[in-house]
Amino acid sequence: MILRDPITLIDSGPLTEEAWDALGAGLKRFGLEVSDVKRVLLTHGHQDHYGLAEKVADASGATLYGGRLDRRNFRQERSHGLLLEDMARAGFGLLPRLAVVASVTAVDRFAKPLEVWDELSGGETLPGDGWSVVVRSTPGHTPGSLTFTIPEAGVVFTGDTVLKEITPNAVVDEDPEESGRPFRSVTRYFETLDEIGRTSGDATLLTGHGAPVTDWSAHRKTLDRRYGIRVGQIERELAKGPAVVRDLVAAIFPRVKTLNVFLAYSEILGFLMYLEDTGRVEKIVSETRDRYRLVPAALL
């Protein structure tokens, strides 16, 4: 929350009584009410970040802002058919596929779809009274993820693009700029991390969950180590022979619960596309399956 004119909320939290009460209580500590909020800036289209925004706008008349490429997320539009088809090609049976669609849809109850909002693409500067918000496009966690920098305060609101304790998952969804194709989440996310280092490495990063990140270069090293482990796991599995995503999920996340199958699928597919983009893995497409194999070292 930015308690300067215009009073600006960064992400609203989910559509729950607790979040609504917590927002009211937080504002009250500063002698304010929800009706005083003038702007709500949304870092990305996940329910726990934008869920309450429409209700805040109804109560206050605040203007909502969100990333252009997360438009479908904010409207809760999904291509279930595409997900079912892609997961079939990835080797998943009908039951796990239906369970994934159900679990993805179930999360919608934590958000009211947005009706009217201003779309941001990155590159904008929103004025304030003696302060400003610089908007940057930071695709990866979602296609339309944004960060909001307040240069006058030396802080950046990162949403889920940078988290201190959690390693963010770059979620695979349909590419909003290339319909019918998966968004190359991990590849884009790694580009975004480089960009954050260039533009915001000295700032205090205020994360969407938990503590801030104050030492970017140390944090980046930790991330690179963790992502390096994931790459190593996938390459070791593929060294045994070509595999579908389901085989890799079973080998790398052997105890994954139904609710998290989507995240595991998304994580592995995202990394496979990244390895494809860097020329280390190739996709073998047959009529019914998408398999992946290591590019022989001799060809690199």
Chain residues that interact with Zn ion, rule: CB under 5 A = 46, 160
Question: CB of 142: closest distance to Zn ion in angstroms?
Answer: 7
Question: CB of 101: closest distance to Zn ion in angstroms?
Answer: 19
Backbone phi, psi, residue 103, to 5°: -70, -35
On whether the CB atoms of residues 208 and 43 are closer than 8 A, the answer is yes
How many Å separate Cα 140 from the centre of its chain? 6
Nearer to Zn ion, 149 or 185 (CB): 185
Nearer to Zn ion, 7 or 163 (CB): 163
CA gap 125, 174 in Å, rounded: 28
> What angle separates helix 245-252 from helix 216-238, to the nearest 10 degrees?
110
Question: CB of 256: closest distance to Zn ion in angstroms?
Answer: 19
Nearer to Zn ion, 47 or 149 (CB): 47
Look at phi and psi of residue 24 and say left if phi exceeds 0, alpha if psi is from -120 to 50, else beta.
alpha
Q: Which residue is nearest to Zn ion (CB)?
A: 46
Give me the residue label for tokens 């260039």: 198
Question: CB of 237: closest distance to Zn ion in angstroms?
Answer: 27
Question: CB of 293: closest distance to Zn ion in angstroms?
Answer: 32
On whether the CB atoms of residues 68 and 42 are closer than 8 A, the answer is no
Other CB atoms within 10 A of residue 234 CB: 24
Nearer to Zn ion, 38 or 164 (CB): 164
Nearer to Zn ion, 91 or 168 (CB): 168
